[in-house]
A and B are shown apart, each in its own frame.
Chain A
Amino acid sequence: MTKTGLLPDEWLVSYASGALSEAQALVVASHVDYHEELKAKVADAEAIGGCLLEGIVPERLSEDALERTLAALAVLDDAAEALVEPVGSSVADIRMPAPLAAHLNMGLDELKWRFMGPGMRQVKLQAYENGERLWLLRARGGTEMPFHDHRGTEFTLVLTGSYRVGDKHYTPGLIELAGPEVTNHQPIIDEGEDCICLVVTDAPIKLHSLIGRMFQPFIGL
């Protein structure tokens, strides 16, 4: 990662192209929402998508394609009065970026936080068919997370509070990307407010300690 806590460009390109999984797209979109420079890059990557669309060899349509579409528009116009535009998320939890707020549709404090370990609580948001899990972690200030290794790729986006891993410091809006090469990973939460993170894991993480391994089946990491 060139700049600590900002996703490298290849992830922004994959987001723009539609190549990310649902969970990854959510964490990447949420991360981008914090940073003007990343918004500009995503806008550019999507504009490249638009240019590729303009440059593609056109396909032949069936002869009545326009006619059928115009007929569909006529129906729409008749029903226009009844058309109710979906409203955006009404959740005004300023600790959440817009894509996450739209996804959760409730505030962080309305979620059911479950015990995960000393000083730690979690909300399992979703387990996907591809093995990915999307969850929120809430750790009290000063908590030392258990040592662990990663087997897959893990995205951790900080929403509140902050933590350190070695000499790296993660604050709200910054994302930590940890791959299988990361071993002996031990985040330490800064003193002060709770650190809440949005996390995507694509394979179970491996805890080192016996107590950690005993907890694992219950905490579902």
Chain B
Amino acid sequence: MTAKASQYIESPQSASHGKWPVRRLTGAGANAVLGTGQHPSGGVLDIFSARKDRAASHEELVGRIANSHDRAAFAELFAYYAPRLKSYLKALGLGDEKAEDLAQEVMVTLWRKAEKFDPAKARLSTWLFRVARNRFIDHTRRQKYAEVDVDDHLTQMVASDETDAPAMQNQNAIRVKAALKVLKPAQREVIELSFFKELSHSEIATKLSLPLGTVKSRIRIAFGALRKELRDMA
């Protein structure tokens, strides 16, 4: 069984070409979403070129929100994350409008809880991922997803050198894509079905017509490989 290439993650080589987002090549604005141009709100969407010369890391921008309710800092984070949160929420199955609503809610949560965000403990993308995941589950399943405070654990994948944070972050997005490429397509597939479809082990087994044990071992191996890759970087 061969797994098809990811429909979600940009390829490091072809990020600026229209190879991946086929599902959005219809209707108006198709040329505005390929991750190359200026976004209407002013942010540059291509993470491979845009963030290298940023003065402030995302984590520093959150600090400005916490300290002085800095709307410009918020707008910059919004330009980067809101389109990605919307994309994640659509991948999970929400319609366009609802996905945008929840993406906005997640960003509002960031505004409200900026003081509680501690860059020494977690990356902003991790923090936003958790909020979006929980908000989606709350919205679609009317359930509260139990949370556990894992950030009191200190040996995590956070950028170690503060001054180098922006480059680090850009690096990280590139590395995760490189790491995903290192995974065999079959391993990558189970990771994407877990994170972008929230499928359980048995649902993945049914979908891919695989024994349950195979699905579990693929997830374990894929996780081990990604973890090693990201830890080596941090």
List A residues at the B interface (Cβ < 8 Å).
8-10, 12-14, 17-22, 25-26, 28-30, 32-33, 36, 39-63, 65-66, 68-70, 72-73, 76-77, 83, 97-99, 102-103
Contact = CB atoms under 8 A, between A and B. Distances in A.
Nearest to B46: A58
Interface in B174-208: 175-177, 180, 191-192, 194-196, 198-201
Which 7 pairs, one residue from A and one from B, show the smallest C-beta to C-beta distance?
Answer: A50-B125, A58-B83, A51-B176, A50-B126, A29-B148, A29-B146, A59-B87
A61 B129 contact: no
A203 to B, nearest CB: 12
A42 B29 CA distance: 38
The B interface, classified by DSSP as helix, strand, loop or mixed, is: helix
B137 A57 contact: no
Contacts of B195: 17-18, 48-49, 52
B122 A43 contact: yes
A10 B150 contact: no
B128 A39 contact: no
Nearest to A179: B212
Interface residues of B, number: 95
Nearest to B89: A59
A99 B53 CA distance: 41
Nearest to A67: B41
Nearest to B126: A50
B47 A9 contact: no
Given A22-B146, A66-B41, A77-B69, A51 B230 contact: yes
Contacts of B125: 47, 50-51, 53-54
A99 B124 CA distance: 23
B132 interface: yes
Nearest to B40: A63
Contacts of A21: 200
A65 B104 CA distance: 8
B84 A72 contact: no
A8 B224 CA distance: 12
Contacts of B220: 8-10, 13
Given A51-B230, A56-B91, A98-B148, A10 B137 contact: no
17 contacts: A10-B216, A20-B145, A22-B141, A29-B147, A29-B148, A39-B148, A48-B226, A49-B195, A53-B129, A57-B8, A59-B86, A59-B99, A60-B24, A61-B39, A62-B100, A66-B78, A99-B146
B117 interface: no
A18 B136 contact: yes
A53 B130 CA distance: 10
A9 B224 contact: yes
B60 interface: no
A53 B85 contact: yes
Given A18-B145, A69-B104, A72-B104, A57 B35 contact: yes
A40 B150 contact: yes
A42 B219 CA distance: 14
Nearest to B151: A43
Given A20-B200, A58-B83, A61-B41, 18 more contacts: A9-B220, A10-B223, A17-B195, A25-B145, A32-B148, A41-B227, A54-B173, A55-B8, A57-B21, A58-B33, A58-B87, A59-B96, A60-B83, A61-B39, A66-B41, A68-B104, A73-B71, A76-B111
